Amino acid sequence: MISLEIIDSALKILSRHPLCDYCLGRQFASLGYGISNRERGIALKTIIFMSAHKLIKENIEEGL
């Protein structure tokens, strides 16, 4: 499972700066060998999106 620390860091960065995929991925360049910064940024944004979607779906199902 992906570290929540990585997701939290990415969310904090994105809440302060509207970064492109490349620039976000560059912030985590020491993680993941063999993938580009752009791919890393896309992956992070995808995980954040999926996590947000899950929370929204759970709240709707609970009637909140």
Provide CB contacts within 8 A for 13, sequence distance 6+. 19, 24, 27
Tokens of 33: 């060998």
Query: pTM of the prediction?
Result: 0.84
Q: Are residues 6 and 28 in contact, defined by beta-carbon separation less than 8 angstroms?
A: yes
Residue spans per domain, the chain: 4-61
Q: What is the pLDDT along the chain (64 residues), one digit of tens a residue?
A: 567 899 999 999 999 999 999 999 999 999 989 999 999 999 999 999 999 999 999 988 776 5
Distance CA 43, CA 3 (A): 13
Instruction: Provide the pLDDT for residue 1.
Output: 56
